Chain A
Amino acid sequence: MNRNTWGNTLQHTQHPETAFIPSISRQISITPIVKAALVYTINNEALFIDSRKQEKFDWRKNKNAYQRIIHLSDLEDKWDSYNAPKFSKQQIDFALTLYSYLRSYCFARNIDFARTEPFVAPCSDGMILFEWSGKRFPNKQLEIYVPISDKHSCEFLKTEGDSELEGEFHLGEFNLILDWLFNFEY
């Protein structure tokens, strides 16, 4: 059995402070943070780097919805300097499920996901906001709120001109809400 260890990984380095990672064909510096982020597997050469732990996430610049959901786990209790609670793994998993539904929906409807990706934001009351608003969505706007726990339903707020409609929905009804937003008619 070929068991990768830190020892034989470092044997192939050119410098003691670096390691060559075959899966990405790169020499990387082994800082304590990188060392903590590396996960190595048994029986193959694959090495996976959890890059999100290497540097602080930039909430200002990074608008990628998936990345923003993942990095909600970085926020500790009182992350808003007021009383916001931290996000549970279960809640983040559910947000990822919604994200996955959204991607599948766009694929099925032949909609360009990059142009319709929501803005994801942490809410001060502990919910997670998926927002389709601002300059990209001048006509219809949608806000989806992921609840704190599965004891609560997801919430939505649809806005079109001066008209607003808010309510709750289950995952199975998500497609109908997206159909409204993207003007999809059967």
Chain B
Amino acid sequence: MAELYQVNSSDKLLRWLHPGQFDWDENRPTSAAFKDNEMSVDILCLTTIEESYDRAKKLGKNALVSIPAKLVIEKGLEVKSDPVDGNDAHAVILGKKTNSIAKFLATNCKVEIYPPKDDPN
């Protein structure tokens, strides 16, 4: 059995956003996307932004942001590799996301891909 990837502070984590969680006029994510206590992400060094985005689009998501693992760890959260069927890059960020932490993640993540507002897809 392959050893699980050990996430370190230099990693980048990718998170898909539902269109309702993104302010399309200001091109910014809202805290709504960063609330779950077991928050799924992709580890960038185990995939690519394009691959992750393709998976997101197949599931009806259309924005993708990246979060430096360093910021997550600094907030006392744990990042654990958690490969799933069809996605070896999958990981979870464990720990309670207070409203303050959710806003911190929304403010400090980088929007990697988002389609134009008028894109029918």
Interface residues of A (CB under 8 A from B): 59-61, 63, 68, 75, 79-84, 119, 121-125, 127, 129, 131, 133-135, 143, 145, 155-157, 159, 164, 166
Contacts and interface: CB of A to CB of B under 8 A. Distances in A.
A111 B30 CA distance: 25
Contact of A121 (B25, B32, B39): B32
Interface stretch (B1-9, B13-21, B43-51, B67-75): B13-21
B34 A81 contact: no
A134 B20 contact: no
B28 interface: yes
Interface size class of B (residues with CB under 8 A): 20 to 34
Contacts of A125: 35-37, 97
A81 B56 contact: yes
5 contacts: A60-B24, A75-B20, A123-B31, A124-B36, A131-B32
Interface of B: 16, 18-26, 28, 30-40, 56, 59-62, 97-100, 103, 117
Q: Which 9 interchain pairs have the tightest Cβ spacing?
A: A121-B32, A81-B59, A59-B20, A157-B99, A125-B35, A59-B19, A123-B32, A124-B36, A129-B32
B100 A157 contact: yes
A59 B32 CA distance: 14
Given A82-B36, A124-B36, A60 B28 contact: no
A143 B33 contact: no
